Structure 1
Amino acid sequence: MKGSSESSDGQAVAWVESPLQLLCVIEAQHAGLLGPATTVVPRSGLPALRRTRAEMTRLDLPPGLELADPAARMPKPGKTWVFGDAFSGRVQLNLLTSAPRRVVLVDDGLATIRLLELLVARRPLLRARVKSGLARSILGAAAGLRLRGGRLSVFTALPVPDELAEAVQARGAELVRHDFTWLRSQPGDVPPDERTVVLGTSLVRNGLIHRDAYVKWLAAIDEPVAYYPHRREDPRDLERVRRISGVTVYETGVPAEMTLRGLRPGQRVLSLPSTAVTSLRILLRARGVSIETVEVPDDWWTASAGPSLRSHLQLFAHERVAP
């Protein structure tokens, strides 16, 4: 579908900057959280998001949802303003210079949990592991005040700890859980022939685990492997993966939640801690597919991976396996 990136006052407008955000906005529309009409504007210049949008147009989208053409410029919010990356300076500035009646936050990976913690703690909304100047800190603080003081709904499939969930709701925000009802209703892709599927990781490119340790572990898996890269994997790292005997790389360019929802009983997924682990457990729990999180050994971590980050990642570490 095509649509304008300009909003009308009576509808919801969503700004999406990743495939996961796009998927979660569609789920929110399907769940009835956004109202009768929602325009979704993908950010332009992002190949994975462009491919995911194209895939979405071939599926049965929820009524009232319109996928606009990708845009470089953020759209004007409607009465309901929907986004995923609340740490974005552009999103925060837009939030402060507009007056949506309601804000809906959708999942944006691990950052969603950090965002909830900062909202509860009344701290500025600043990215982890990024040094921010005074102006950026002021903007993050002001954006936090705006979110805390308005009508806020958080739409998530993530395992939010009970204590944190209670604190979020005590601050007046609505916390809405979902289990990918819309996506589960769509036909699945043909699964790979390999029994074992490995999800790629962004932890290497982000400098959080040592590259050689990860590649060595992957090469030691003693059976054929279907490897699905993370959208932010370094192409040079991916070339190393391609050279591993027995590993076949499947570059789909769309979220694992979409490409792997048709896995067969008896297949298994291995992954370092990630939000995709949670999503796939929800999607495949009735299909007899094992979703296993690989426990990261201490000597894999780099100095950039502090205790707080490692603790966050444990949220996705159920059904752990040793490397």
Structure 2
Amino acid sequence: MSPAPADTDTLAFVESPVQLLNVLEWAHTSARTERPADLTVVVLAPRDPMTRGQLRRMAELAREEGHTVRWEEARGGTAAPLRTIGGLTPLLRRARRVVLGDPFSRYVQLLLGLTRARDLVVVDDGTATMEFIGQLARGERLVRWHRHGAGRGPREVLFAPVAATARRRLTPGPEGARRRRTVALFSSMPVEAPEGMTVTANDFAWTRSRFGPPRPTRTADIVGTSLVETGVVDTDRYLAAVARLARTHGATRYFAHRRERAGKLHRLATETGLEVVRPDLPLELIARRGPVGRLILSFPSTVVHTLPLALQGTGVQVAVCDIDPAWLTAHASPRAQGFLDDVTGTARDVRRLGPAGHESGV
């Protein structure tokens, strides 16, 4: 674990490989308009082995770019949260700017309550950014889109003051205010930021300069999703949809999402004949590095927004398959279908496929 220097200019908190990728993209873009940030990336390590593995690889890339990486076993036992927060508090007090990848994270919300930084930057945590911006603009409490219902259990009630403070910190201060707080968004998502929040487009310039271009193959690839694992989509319906996509478009490989369960993936490989690939880096880097299919097929997810940017000029096409409402489970959030439709409908430079896997007339 590398300690942060005493004069840390910018602290970034990440909990997933995609968040760390977007911090690197932000640092690359920021260096064009201002002096390079003295950046310390704090990895609040999750328990999931696949996520940890990808984060380790992304941490190596961050160090190669000259950034400091501090790995925190933030969930390593009951005492870990107190130890982690205690160790980070002095750094938070000194940092001029804080960059965060998941404003819904309770860990991040706790840390936001401790910082004196007047400049906050939110980088994409995938499609969750779209929900975050909408809730912030409407003044709602921050709740992940796939959470069922609007009820608040004892833990939510206990944590409510911390969450409310975090939401206030993430709301830009009024113009002309003394020691005005600024909040910026660095995003590849199609969002309209609330008044006072600045938005910088993430065009994946660092990824395109660092990797590839790839060599497209003659076949198609399918991108996996964790919609089954989050309780949104029925397992059998999902596997049937993947099989249809593979048959219709001649797909040979299935790039598994880091959260997909091993049992489900074994069944998928057996029933569809697809080669299941467990990427060691975020898919944007895997695809850019290549080889990659001439056509990449996905269900509604972050990659339908990011892959067209990362693969710009390569000739690789991205297609998104709609989610049939009949695929949703009884436990799916009432907001699920609308949110998934919005993810698909706002994607740029992609082919739109119906639930059966054929071109959509929408």
Q: Which TM-score tier does this pair reach, normalised by the shorter chain?
A: 0.7 to 0.9
Q: 1:245 to 1:173 in 2, by over 3 A?
A: closer
What TM-score comes out, normalization by structure 2 length? 0.78
Mapped partners of 2:127, 2:105: distance in 1: 15
Q: Return the alpha-carbon distance in structure 1 between the equivalents of residues 11 and 214 of structure 2.
A: 33
Partner of 1:151: 182
Ranges in structure 1 where 5+ consecutive residues have no aligned partner = none
Q: How many residues align?
A: 314
5+ long unaligned stretches in structure 2: 75-83, 174-180, 357-362
Q: Distance in 2 between matches of 1:119 and 1:137?
A: 15
Identity, % of aligned positions: 31
In 2 relative to 1, CA 60–86 (structure 1 residues): closer, same or farther, beyond 3 Å?
closer
Q: Is the CA contact 1:224–1:246 (under 8 Å) kept in the aligned structure 2?
A: no
Q: CA deviation at 1:7?
A: 5.6
Q: 1:65 aligns with which of 40, 62, 67?
A: 67
Question: Contact 1:215/1:241 (CA < 8 Å) preserved in 2?
Answer: yes
1:36 maps to what in 2?
37
Answer with 213-222 or 270-279: which moved more: 213-222
How many angstroms does 1:46 deviate by?
A: 4.5
Report the CA distance between 1:142 and its aligned residue.
Answer: 2.0
Query: Which structure 2 residues correspond to residues 1-323 of structure 1 after superposition, within 5 A?
Result: 3-4=2-3, 6=4, 8-32=6-30, 35-44=36-45, 45-56=47-58, 59=61, 64-72=66-74, 73-74=84-85, 75=88, 76-77=91-92, 78-128=95-145, 129=147, 131-132=151-152, 133-148=156-171, 149=173, 150-160=181-191, 164-165=192-193, 168=194, 170=195, 172-188=196-212, 195-220=219-244, 221-222=246-247, 223-263=250-290, 267-317=294-344, 318=347, 319-322=351-354, 323=356
Query: Which whole-Å CA distance do the structure 2 matches of 1:244 and 1:263 have between them?
Result: 26
Change (3 A) 1:212 1:36: same
Question: What secondary structure, in the 3-state scheme, does the structure 1 residue paired with 2:233 have?
Answer: coil
Q: How many Å separate the matches in 2 of 1:259 and 1:111?
A: 22
Give CA deviations for 1:80-126 in whole Å, capped at 9, x if unaligned: 11111111222112211221121111111222111111211122223
Q: Do the aligned partners of residues 7 and 313 (structure 1) sit closer, same or farther apart at CA in structure 2, a change above 3 Å counting?
A: farther
CA offsets per residue over residues 157-185 of structure 1, 9 Å max, x none? 1122xxx33xx1x2x11111111100001
Check 1:138–1:194 CA distance in 2 against 1; reply closer, same or farther (3 A cut): farther
* One-letter amino acid of the structure 2 residue matched with residue 297 of structure 1: D
Q: What is the TM-score normalised by the length of structure 1?
A: 0.87
- Whether contact under 8 Å (2:217, 2:294) holds in the other structure is no
When residues 174 and 305 of structure 1 are mapped into structure 2, their CA distance, relative to the original with a 3 A threshold, is same
